[in-house]
Chains A and B, each alone.
Chain A
Amino acid sequence: MAQSSVALRDVVKTFGAAPVIKGLSLTVEPGEFAVFVGPSGCGKSTLLRLIAGLETPTSGTVRISDRDVTHVHPSKRGIAMVFQSYALYPHMTVAQNMAFGLKIRGMTKTEANARVKRAADILQMDQLLDRKPRALSGGQRQRAAIGRAIVREPDVFLFDEPLSNLDAALRGQMRVELARLHAQLGTTMIYVTHDQVEAMTLANKIVVLNGGRIEQIGRPLDLYRRPANVFVAGFIGSPKMNFLDGKVSASGVGATTIALPDGPVALPFGDGRIKSGDVVKIGVRPEDFRLARDDAARAFEGRVVLVEPLGGETIAHIALDGGAETLVVKLSGEAYVAAGAPIRVAVEPQRIHLFDSDGVAVAPKEA
């Protein structure tokens, strides 16, 4: 299987009067595992279907391996797709499902069967070949759907939320298998999901989408450490990042002071973009908080409202003194926190994120 790049240029897609994709461009490098992630309705599935050829862009181009395929039939783009509902043909066995596309193309029976066997070996599903879809479990059906994609030996694999119909345990297992598959085949893969855990664990490159536009593209840890805006910051990471509203009280390159309801916070970074008096948001991830030591420079004080003891970690919801704000804090292990008790937490200033009044990140920290 060749490795192909996929490039979208200025793609717009409107359904009737509603614009779903509002003009975006992106490139997926050969061999990359790219994940399109975003909330429902952000257009990620539509984008995938545009790459597949099941929809045609209203304007813009789609290129695969530098060939303009914008108006090329799906079966001639060198792609294979795994559908969310698996879309297996119910009246055919798994082997027949897999061989179907090959036979339509005129491949001989022997060659088709050989390919089916190879794919079955990769996925370890030999024993499923003679069964019909209704005799398979969810995970097995999914494997059959992937098998059907593999036999085509495509240049690009497309996955449309393939794990969303599986239960949590199976999902975890299949995630590992998909990562292994990518390592083994090396083919370019484009994967759509609303689950940011899947995105973080599988992707070489994540594309965060919102309302038909790209919010940020980058490697998983880049998106985690340096989110470009409030949306990405809140979308990546679970539990969600805490946001507190504040005002700039002093601004300069290399240092900024933000006034929060309960006192000032000094940040060791800044740029000339924001000015004194600007309304801003600061963001802190739950896992960046620690129980404050007595000598902590800047602590947040409040009362514990709810404790979620997960064993390996403890999540505490804290109502801050003097404000309507609630912080969600993730502490490691079985932390000693009790509901109703007062609590002090602190965070290292470098780990605080700053967003201007438009939600854009300010001076993202150096890696």
Chain B
Amino acid sequence: MKKAIYILGFVVGLTFTSNAQKKITGKVKDQLGQPVAGALIFEAGISSNNTLSKEDGTFTLNTLKADVIEVVYADAKSKQVKIKGDNQVEIELNRSDEIVNMGNARITEIRKTQAVTTVDADEINKDASVAVSDALMGVTPLAIRGQKYSTLIIVDGFPRPWGYLAKEEIESISVLKDAAATALWGASGANGVIVVTTRRGSYNAKKITVDYKQGIGLPINLPQMANASQYAKAVNEALYYDGLPARYSPADLDAFASGTGDPDLYPNVDWMKEGLGEHSKNHQLNMTFTGGGERIRYFSVINYKNDIGILDPKYTEYDGRFSTQEKNYSLNIRTNLDINATKTTLVKLTMLGMLRENKGPNSSDAAIYGNMVGIPSAAFPVFTQNGFWGSDNIYKTNPIANIASVGYSKKNMRMLQSDMRIIQDLSMVVTGLSAEAAVSYDNNATYAESQKKSYAYEVNTPVIDPVSGAVTKNSAVFGDESSLTYTSSLSDQYIRSGAEGKLIYNRSFEGNMLNVSAMYKQESLIPSGRNTTRKKQYLLGTVGYEYKDRYLVDIVVNHYGTSVLSQGDQFRTYPAVSAGWLISNEPFFTSKVFDLLKLRASWGQSGLDNLDYELDRQFWIGGNGYYFKDGNVAYGGTKEGPLAMKKLNPETGDKYNLGLDLKVFNKLAFTADVFYERRSDILVSGSTTVSSAIGIPLPDICAGVNDYKGYELSMAWNENTRAFNYYVKGNFSFVKSDVVENYEGYKPYDYLSRKGKPVGQFFGLEAIGYFNDWDDINNSLTQKFSDVRPGDIKYKDQNNDHVIDQYDEVAKGYSTTIPEIYFGLKLGFEYRGFGVDVLFQGVTNYSRVLNTASVYWPLRNNTNISEWYLNGNTRWTETTKETAGLPRLSTLENANNFRNSTQWLVDGSYVTLRNLNVYYNFPQSLTGKIKLNNCQIYARANDLFSLDHVKYLSPERLSVGYPDLTALFLGLKINF
């Protein structure tokens, strides 16, 4: 707290002599030149001295020293305007000079020295996707500057999940990237911060929006699995090349091929076709109420969503007692209130209540979707002739029964997110001084209930009479149709709370501006269970100074404490300095072409405290015990727990950033950033150098170092006229990571080292072909993974030791975790009310490994085989030796073929049409008659197509689960 007092003293010590009253008159207009009524105008730093614009947009403000005035208009947007020369001002509201909310600090776009990307409501709401995080698609990778995990999400000033918000609740999303911005969040911010600001009311206005949309989801990227006949042939082929006897006799193969055999013994089930319906369905109704007067403003949302899953109703309604369709409902109710309690006191209340229900069959995704892919068509029928569920002795399950006959499970989530913030103008004490205090309290509880049952299944095995060859079947029924058993529990619960207090001093004089703040903040997250509570507290000081409208400096010092560090050593200090030069404001810069030309530079640090508790202490824990004596007497055991870590440190990012902001012709905006970050104190294994003779697993050490460097470019071209407007926006980001230190220990060959390679670099053997025959095997080097047979993959000996083993694994391709290049392109136009928005997004310099069982790695350990292996490519057989692109089939584990190698490595690049939005606004002449301000119909689509190198699944997701969907929506939006 001491620091805050010093800063306050410093602020009070500053005095500004001029105290002359000044009268400002002006007019507020929007981008198209229309007057804006109900904008709140006040002198920067003295919010109590304010006025509202009238119907024609005009206002009059008596100021003390009017260098800068702040304008707050609809939906929590605001901007700062400089007064120059005469006391007349025309204020045009446009997005580019709005105030950017960085959570713990705000700054105007124009004087910003930090690397921050902002997306606002207009852009967010054009997107067809439902998930809020998708709003950043094509704008910035969610792996901010190469960091895939632990991005800090801030909603209205406090850390909160954002996944449950409806897009309609959001005013803007800012992505903080460099240290000048992330140092504001201390040891939580190193992996980037996403700041979400929700919408708020507006002055002298009343607006109601009703938006209803209905959509369907069409499954895409479904793997095409072999039919029964193909499967049986493939198994026999695999067994043949494994040197094992065939499983299916020629008669069996005929029976599968003709499809006329006993369906209990010769089934042919397309599990996905059987279990999946045509499409999923969803509805969304959103109503927002915005408005208010001088004393109270409100913004209210009621958002209702439901989503009916893709399972075939034939089976979800199979048991008359319950439905097992996957259904998700959610209802969000938000009320954000801004209350002028006194002339100098503003109270902001933010409340979100949420009810959510997720329902579905009482099975895991793997039991349903995994089995639809993994169980061969030829395994067993859905139902046997005797009316039981089909199954066999290998799988002992039935994916369709797992939908229809296992009961249902349901999760109910209730959440409250609330905070209250009081802003007190203290200009009566010191001109330009204000104070803020805020508390937040969020509570979430998820209740789970299920009605569970088991099912009986019948296994039919053929019995062949050794004399006559006649096939009869041997039937056995396992399990039973149990009655429903009900269970319920509290499955998840947490409380998040936070509190902050802040003093802000904000004054401007003769083209100079000073903004100083001191803040204390604390946050806690208390889930159920001991030792999972996380607490953080910090003192944050910021200084922003602008000299002669041209030179900008920002300083941040964050003294940050976190409960996971050692007692007595819980605080770290994160400094950051950034500076900007507004070249376009220099007297010598006379070009009329440039509206803005700014250079930025920043350096600073932020951290990441995602450590577990008490890593620095060693405890003794209960062991397994022992049983002395000839009797049932347990001797409790006590043994040492994990060794203590010597010194706990949060990860530290030392970040450098250079930026350029450019605006030309008032139409083209361009931003470029170059960055470099050294990330140190990363947790790495400490065991690679210490002898196992120590007898206990070694603790990790905070000693890893990675480098990240790259650049980000973004460009936007906007042209607006009353009848026609269009835009083109492009984004491109490149990040290259480099492992500098990882304590990997001794590597016998340099190329085995992960150092100097990107984080997540692919390592594998280099496939150089297939063994043609036994002579080839005998004349080739020994491969030490499993016995090789003709048709197996032959690898390159990298170290010339004449043995192929794991020492021959080399780096190939790129990282399999983070793409180096990420890009997005947004295009759109609007003409006479008709508009189109398109978003393409893609990545490149990215590697993926095709190792999904059944789909790409067939038949081993009783898995299935896909068309990809059978017909999409040429596998090795005795007749396709020359042209083969895949190894032979095998039913065995075959560790030689099925391991990381260039055989399975693919380019993970893709370009996807993420979003398409087509809309029509009915003309005012029409809507005015029925008292509507606006009426829009729209059609939207998500993930319409993708260009990539991966057949079946997508490079974004190579696992088998709930199918990927292309979402289509039709909607109607009405403004009153």
Are the chains A and B members of one assembly?
Answer: no
Binding site for B on A (CB under 8 A): none
Binding site for A on B (CB under 8 A): none
